[in-house]
Amino acid sequence: MYKIVVTGGSRGLGLGIAVRLVEAGYEVIAIARKSTKELVAAQEVANRDTPRLHFRAFDLSDIDGIAALVKQLRAEFGKVYGLVNNAAVGTSGILSNARVEQIQSQIQLNTVSPIVLSKFLLRSMMAGGGGRIVNVSSIVGFTGYSGLSVYSATKAAMIGFTKSLAREVGQLGITVNSVAPGFLDTEMTSEMEQSHKDTIARRSALRRMPEVIDVANAVEFLMGEKARNITGIVLTVDAGNTV
């Protein structure tokens, strides 16, 4: 059974992706700082017969610890086939008021950490003769959004990373793609006013906001055999908000 690492897999979109991948037949290792009651509930369902949804606690902002984390995962789970780089922090605010440390930590977690994790997990895919990386970007990485300049910069960075890495490892049978969700109704957008969400829905071609399951389905598609000839793309899942 293919093993997939999902970062930020304890809640929100990451948990939705982890659950969808388990349902699709993968064995998933969710990485996050701490577990949640939602994850525990999902594990109870997923692990009823055999363990399929695992959790390992790790703070992904600890860049120096990532090599040891991957070593531990390899020892425990063997070869890892896929990686979903989902963990991110979405601090909003006017750039001129942001603290420098806040900017640095956001870039560290949203960009440096997934790149370093990919570097180490790629080895498992290289040795295994193939693999999948799916980077969770965002539509704000190419449309922009007031108050999300740093977050948008990190999400745009993931698109450049996706395209270059896809070219680098394609000949080894490893695909690298991005998904770019529109605004989702998750904890990350909990501070957004309902009227704002209504406006986003009204301005979208489908007159609604996408849901976690829509993005999770896109990730599952890119992870699967049906996407074997798709690499270096950005799959936008935004209910037509950016068309």
Task: Note the residues at the interface with another protein (CB under 8 A).
Answer: 67, 122-124, 126-127, 129, 168-169, 171-172
130 within 8 A of 171, measured Cβ to Cβ: no
Q: Which is nearer to another protein, 123 or 196 (CB)?
A: 123
- Tell me the CA distances in angstroms from 91 to 57, 151, 170, one per residue in order: 22, 7, 34
In angstroms, what is the minimal distance from the CB of 123 to another protein?
Answer: 4
In angstroms, what is the minimal distance from the CB of 198 to another protein?
Answer: 49
**Which of the residues 2, 26, 81, 151 is marked catalytic?**
151
In angstroms, what is the minimal distance from the CB of 88 to another protein?
Answer: 26
Q: Which is nearer to another protein, 124 or 162 (CB)?
A: 124
In the DSSP assignment, the letter for residue 54 is E
In the DSSP assignment, the letter for residue 186 is S
Among candidate residues 93, 121, 110, 132, the one with its CA nearest the CA of residue 223: 132
In angstroms, what is the minimal distance from the CB of 81 to another protein?
Answer: 14
Residue 2 is among the residues annotated as catalytic for this protein: no
Beta carbons within 8 Å of 193's beta carbon, 6+ residues apart: none
Q: Which is nearer to another protein, 60 or 116 (CB)?
A: 116
Q: Which is nearer to another protein, 34 or 123 (CB)?
A: 123
Pairwise CA distance, residues 117 & 60, whole Å: 9
Beta carbons within 8 Å of 81's beta carbon, 6+ residues apart: 2, 3, 4, 26, 124, 125, 128, 130, 131, 132
Q: Which is nearer to another protein, 57 or 127 (CB)?
A: 127
In angstroms, what is the minimal distance from the CB of 187 to another protein?
Answer: 35
H helix intervals, the chain: 12-23, 37-46, 66-77, 100-107, 113-128, 140-143, 149-169, 194-202, 212-223
The catalytic residues are 151
